[in-house]
Structure 1
Amino acid sequence: MHDQFDISLEDSDLLGEVELTTNLIIAASETDSRLSTEEIDRILGVVPRPRRET
């Protein structure tokens, strides 16, 4: 018999977001100052765009 309440609550996208948020919280709690934009980008794995020449 199938139990309608036996469902998986795993959402890989959500788990990834929780991990990123947790990493930010840990990094913020380990410093006495604000995290710079560069530090936040590094923690989140953001790759900076190459600068365009004007």
Structure 2
Amino acid sequence: MDPYDVRLEDDELLAEVELTANLIVAANQSEQQLSPHEIDQVLGVVPRPRRESAGS
């Protein structure tokens, strides 16, 4: 048995590891700190439409 042959069987954990790896790669390739918008893009976050406040 190879101690370095680690397989992830948990789909949610695998997805989380992939998102983290994508974020690390993007941060390493950027010359400056990633903005919140850039982080959202890397993570595939879709912004919610803003709701208008009741006073408007």
1:45 equivalenced with 2:44 (yes/no): yes
The runs of 4+ residues in structure 1 deviating greater than 4 Å are none
Query: Whose radius of gyration is greater, 1 or 2?
Result: 1
Q: CA offset at residue 41 of structure 1? A: 0.5
CA RMSD of aligned residues (A): 1.4
CA distance in structure 2 between the partners assigned to 1:12 and 1:48 by the alignment:
24
- Which residue of 1 is the match for residue 20 of structure 2? 21
In the alignment, structure 1 segments of 5+ residues that lack a partner are 1-7
CA distance in structure 2 between the partners assigned to 1:9 and 1:25 by the alignment:
19
* TM-score normalized by the length of structure 2: 0.76
* TM-score normalized by the length of structure 1: 0.78
CA distance in structure 2 between the partners assigned to 1:45 and 1:30 by the alignment:
18
Q: Give 2:47's aligned amino acid.
A: P
Q: How many residues align?
A: 47
